[in-house]
Structure 1
Amino acid sequence: MTELTRLAHGVLFPALGRRTVPRWARARVAAGLGGFVLFGKDIASPEQVRELTGALHGLRDHVLLSIDEEGGDVNRLENVGGTSVPGNHALGRLDDPALTREAAYQIGLSLVEAGVDWDLAPAVDVAVNPLSPNGIRTFGPDRALVARHAAAWVEGLQAAGVSACAKHFPGHGLSSTDAHLGTPAVDLSRQELVDHYLDPFRAAIAAGVDSIMVSHVHLTQLDDVPATISPAVLTGLLRDELGFDGVVITDALEMHGISDVASLPEAAVRAIAAGADALCLGAWAFGDDVDAAAGALVAAVEDGTLPEGRLREAVSRIAQLGTRPRATGTPHDDAVGERLAREVVEVRGDAALRGRRALVVRLDPTHSPAQGGASWGVEEPLRAAGVDVESLAVAGDTYNAEGMIKAEVGLYLDEFGADADVVLLVRSSHRFPWQRPVLDELLERHPGCVVVDMGVPGDDFGGFRGWVRTFGASRVCARAAVDVLLGAR
């Protein structure tokens, strides 16, 4: 193995793909692989994840293990020994940076327990577009609010000894495009970006954030390529203008936001050349993709396309991650998230169930790849509380969804009486045009329904008997909603 090969591997962060150390990973770690991004499919239990991270750390000194543990809707550990807290949108509604700092600290403690070094969070986009797919993951639509909570979140997480990562630079806030599916476009001048748009990242940098994730957003007035591979964005804005000298990691190179523009090997070379240090390859990137990216980087140095010094600089920066003193021996406190979820929940009208039986009709949103396998809803917590729950879940592509809902609700009320409890469960329903006609018909036919909205506020549910807003779909948010439904609040 040459020194150049070691440097090329050192900037790569693929997925793992198994719940034990796979054979392919051992050889690449020996070759100098920077580390891994753990995803939900790699995790089964608290004991398993600790065994896995211990085994990976044991392969070589300073194998960095990262994860997307944002809290709220995007988490990997909530149901396998991690803590549950309301997500960023709920924390922004509370608007108390001390509470945000406390929530992030608890996440940090849970990551220390799990053996994770680097959290690819927080998301500090500003959801000025109400149709933003990242809305629930942001602190809100106000730039100043997002900036102060970005700083608090970074401080809380890093106080536990885990490196933070502010994302998704330069910000998704104006676009409604999901970068997993296409390339978001933001049409702002450089001056507008510098004057206000980048403020949350300034705040994170001032708070000492260890890393920043660059997104696949296309800044149309600065370059003709996504930010991931743009020297004007990575070097011109982030390095020179904002003065950031920490680690810059790309968003996953398997996402259509960049893969529609450049293949993984080409994107790897262009991202490092533009100023990135670490390459997140994606949730389905394993040995072959590592070999392709490393080979492209080596070839680019050998043919003069990429200076070897750029790779050395990147590897040197990455070496600083995961070196903070860790808060070992301090278990996370699940009561923190439960308290915050109860504080943020909003109730209108008469939202308490009238009996111990309910039909829950869930309108599923379009699945977000970032969410992973995280579940949402109130059905199981209600059952655990002794409520006899029947349920129906439909999505935008469900055959005859409107007919199914009409028939099921009619059947249920005929069986148990016109005053029987029907709970409508939604999540940012204003983002999904198919849901509005469904809700309108239910309001007209069955205004006695109770609505539980676990997403970003948009639609008005004032015509229904009662409604509850949780501002997120984490486990503690579901429990807070169930407390309302059971009349415990």
Structure 2
Amino acid sequence: MPDHLSTLVNSCLLPAYGGATPADWLKREIDDGLAGIVLYGANLGLLDGRLRELVTGPLRAHRSDLVIALDEEGGDITRAEYHRGSNYPGALALGVVDDVELTGRVGAAVAADLIEAGISVNLAPCLEICPGTDLPVFGTRSFGADPARVAAHARAFVEGVQRHGVAATAKHFPGLGSTRVDSHFELPVVPTPEDRFRARDLVPFAAAVAAGVQAVMTGHVAVPAIDEAPATFSRRFVTDILRGELAFDGVVISDSLDMRSARGTLGFGGAAVRAWAAGVDLMIIGPQDGEQICAEIRESARRAVADGVLSLARLEEAADRVARLRELTGSPVPPDDDLAEVGLTAARRALAVRGAAPRPGERFVVELRPEPGISCGTVPWGLVDALERLGAPAGSVLVEPGTAAGSLAVPDGVPLAVVARTEYADPWQEAVVAALLADRPDAVLVDMGYRDLPVPAGTTVLKTYGAGLVNAVAAAELLLGRRWAGAPRDLPGLA
């Protein structure tokens, strides 16, 4: 039989499930107070866009005020449009345009899509400051390098999302932009002095809190100048700085506890207990099926309370904050404005042409296909599909990692477009691009990544600042000399 402690713990958990549709165990845990779920690419890739029909509709029929959360950053990171690519540019493209009113409209359009899909909490935006291209962990997910600019766009995006009853989440507090390590695999350490860190990395979070952001996600990152403990487990960061100095009174959400930088030797239960004790309210477990993990966490919490390591009052405080979040997001109101084309408008404005403007017309496309990052997943991306839907390319070849440039069959006499996407120095892509441009100096490089690929002087480069569907459509329009009327998701062949 469920008891008070079990229900309290459940009310502070956001597990995932395996497969396309929610498992039966989830409904049992929801009946015992489970806060809700997080949806991942592993679920959404199986749904072919039928998210409300197969997942959120049935879950809300069971319990209407559930937290149903996912990452909808736009650009490279999309979950609601995992089956086709994002209809909105990501943070870096918005920062390049630097129009906060436009960023707010993109946030409102994202909220409209999430309301339609039955999502109540958006695990976005990223508020990382990325000081340079030698720090590629967040890349196109960051609004940029300037704290004031990142803060302004963070505020605009948060206000745009939350104006319509969807909660935004400022992440990953206190900021991982100055790291070279992905926290999925090991603990990043930021060696910045405290005064510099406060003047740079904390500025966007202060702006988001001032804008009324309803959730803040902790990052698994250590800043030794402030605390040796990772932020998710740091009372100094969560309670003293975020709650005390920044006066945040919403829900503090952990980044996924399945990451090596969090779970480590503690296990899920130990990590959750340590995070609750630091002041975190709501635990994201990770993309694994969570039935056994939830049971492990409940048992660890029971032992911690019995041993005096974790107080019942701390869990009750966390549960109260989560309950308030559920109430605040229980009655979303879609925007009245027609925002269908705002994403494409933003992507067009972000698109940069370096060198001579390309002459419009069909092109043979050589598209390099590096392995996707763990955060992006297997979202469709690239130029070929967008060109095909706007007017077929003259042919294409998709190039897998490790392929030698000399082995590519590229026809003569046909204009050439080369597509690449790098977040960090990638010798393979650099070598292939260099060889292709040496052989075909008239080629256009469509650079969809964060880091600029080195090219010879005079090369025409289209820089999209992201690899979302909308970024590809903006580049395809310029190459073909024709515009699509409507939203990218309405292109022929896109469900």
1:37-61 per-position Cα deviation (integer Å, ceiling 9, x unaligned): 0123323244443441121123335
* Superposed counterparts of 1:165-184, under 5 Å: 165-184=169-188
- Taking the aligned partners of 2:54 and 2:14, their CA distance within structure 1 comes to 20
Q: 2:444 aligned to 428, 443, 450, which one?
A: 450
1:234 offset after TM fit, Å?
A: 1.2
- C-alpha distance in 1, partners of 2:386/2:201? 40
> Root-mean-square deviation (CA), in Å?
2.2
- Equivalence for 2:117: 114
The letter of the residue matching 2:372 is: H
Q: Which of the numbers 330, 334, 353 marks the counterpart of 2:340? A: 334
Distance 1:355 1:342 in 2: 18
Find the counterpart in structure 2 of residue 256 from structure 1: 260
Equivalent of 1:266, from 240, 263, 270? Answer: 270
Residue equivalent to 1:386: 392
Which residue of the partner structure matches residue 308 of structure 2? 304
Instruction: Tell me if structure 2 keeps the 8 A contact 1:53–1:114.
Output: yes
Counterpart of 2:148 in structure 1 is 144
Identify which of 449, 463, 469 aligns with 1:469. Answer: 463
1:476–1:57 Cα change, 3 Å: same
Secondary structure (helix, strand or coil) at the match of 2:381 reads: coil
- The alpha-carbon deviation at position 79 of structure 1 amounts to 5.5
Are the structure 2 counterparts of residues 50 and 320 from structure 1 closer, same or farther at C-alpha, using a change threshold of 3 Å?
farther
Alignment of 1:70-469 (within 5 A): 70-78=73-81, 84-130=87-133, 131-260=135-264, 262-322=266-326, 323-324=328-329, 325-328=331-334, 330=336, 333-350=339-356, 352=358, 356-364=362-370, 366-384=371-389, 385-395=391-401, 398=402, 401-402=403-404, 405-408=405-408, 411-413=409-411, 417=412, 419-428=413-422, 430-463=424-457, 465-469=459-463
Instruction: Work out whether residues 118 and 321 of structure 1, in 8 Å CA contact, stay in contact via their aligned partners in 2.
Output: no
Kept after mapping to 2: 8 A contact 1:361/1:422: no
Q: Aligned letter for 1:12?
A: L
- Aligned mates of 1:363, 1:445 — CA distance in 2: 20
Shift of 1:75: 0.5
Once residues 463 and 440 of structure 1 are traced to their aligned partners in structure 2, the CA distance between those partners, rounded to angstroms, is 12
Q: Could you tell me how far 1:156 is from its partner in structure 2?
A: 0.2
> How far does the alpha carbon of each residue in 1:370-406 deviate from its partner, in whole angstroms, 9 at most, with x for none?
11221210011112212232212222xx3xx22xx32
Structure-2 separation of matches of 1:94 and 1:484: 17
For 1:190 and 1:41, how far apart are their aligned partners in 2? 39
1:323-356 Cα offsets, whole Å, 9 max, x none, are 2452248586321111111111111334646753
Query: Residue 290 of structure 2 aligns to which amino acid in structure 1?
Result: F
Measure, in 2, the Cα distance between the counterparts of 1:429 and 1:224: 28
Q: Could you say which residue in structure 1 is the equivalent of 2:34?
A: 33
Which one is further off, 442-451 or 102-111?
442-451
- Matched residue of 2:62: which SS? coil
Question: Given residue 299 of structure 2, which amino acid in structure 1 is its aligned partner?
Answer: G
Greater shift, 152-161 or 187-196, is seen at 187-196
Is 2:12 the partner of 1:18? no
1:480 aligned to which of 458, 462, 474 = 474
User: Are the aligned partners of 1:83 and 1:107 in contact in 2 as well (CA < 8 Å)?
Assistant: no
Residue aligned with 2:288, SS? coil
SS for the counterpart of 1:293 is helix
Deviations 1:7-29 (A, max 9, x none): 01111101122322211212221
Shift of 1:291: 0.9
Counterparts of 2:132 and 2:354 in 1: how far apart (Å)?
26
C-alpha deviations, 1:399-437, integer Å up to 9, x for none? xx22xx3221xx323xxx2x3233221123653243333
> Are 2:5 and 1:7 equivalent residues in the alignment?
no
The answer to whether the Cα contact below 8 Å between 1:70 and 1:121 also exists between their aligned partners in 2 is yes
Once the two structures are TM-superposed, the CA of residue 139 in structure 1 deviates from its matched residue by 0.3
In structure 2, C-alpha distance between the alignment counterparts of 1:42 and 1:464, rounded to whole Å: 45
* Counterpart secondary structure, 2:95: helix
1:430–1:459 contact (8 Å) kept in structure 2:
no
Any conservation in 2 of the 1:379–1:391 contact (CA below 8 Å)? no
Q: Which amino acid aligns with 1:476?
A: V
The question of whether the paired residues in 2 share the 8 Å contact of 1:214 and 1:227 is answered with yes
Any stretches of 5+ residues in structure 1 without a counterpart? none
Letter in 1 for 2:294: V
User: 1:82 and 1:352 mapped to 2: Cα distance?
Assistant: 25
C-alpha spacing 1:329/1:9, structure 2 compared with 1 (3 Å): same
The AA in structure 2 aligned to 1:18 is: G
Following superposition, the deviation at residue 113 of structure 1 comes to: 0.5
Provide the secondary structure at the position in 1 that maps to 2:341: helix
- Cα distance in 1, alignment partners of residues 353 and 20 from structure 2: 41
How far apart are the structure 1 equivalents of 2:365 and 2:373?
A: 26
CA distance in 2, matches of 1:45, 1:175: 35
Q: Percent identity?
A: 35
Letter in structure 1 aligned against 2:365: L
Cα deviations across residues 137-170 of structure 1 (Å, max 9, x unaligned)?
0100111100010000000000121001000001
**If the length of structure 2 is used for normalisation, what is the TM-score?**
0.91
Question: Deviation of residue 193 (structure 1)?
Answer: 3.2
- Work out the CA distance in 2 between the residues paired with 1:275 and 1:97: 32
Equivalent residue letter for 1:110: D
Structure-1 separation of matches of 2:10 and 2:92: 37
Describe the SS at the equivalent of 1:65.
strand
After the TM superposition, which of the residue ranges 45-54 and 146-155 deviates more from structure 2?
45-54
1:213-249 CA distance string (max 9 Å, x none):
0010111223333111111221122112212111100
Partner of 2:395: helix, strand, or coil? strand
Residue correspondences, number = 476
Taking the aligned partners of 2:279 and 2:460, their CA distance within structure 1 comes to: 52
Structure 2: distance between partners of 1:132 and 1:348: 22
**How far, CA to CA, are the matches of 1:12 and 1:331 in structure 2?**
35
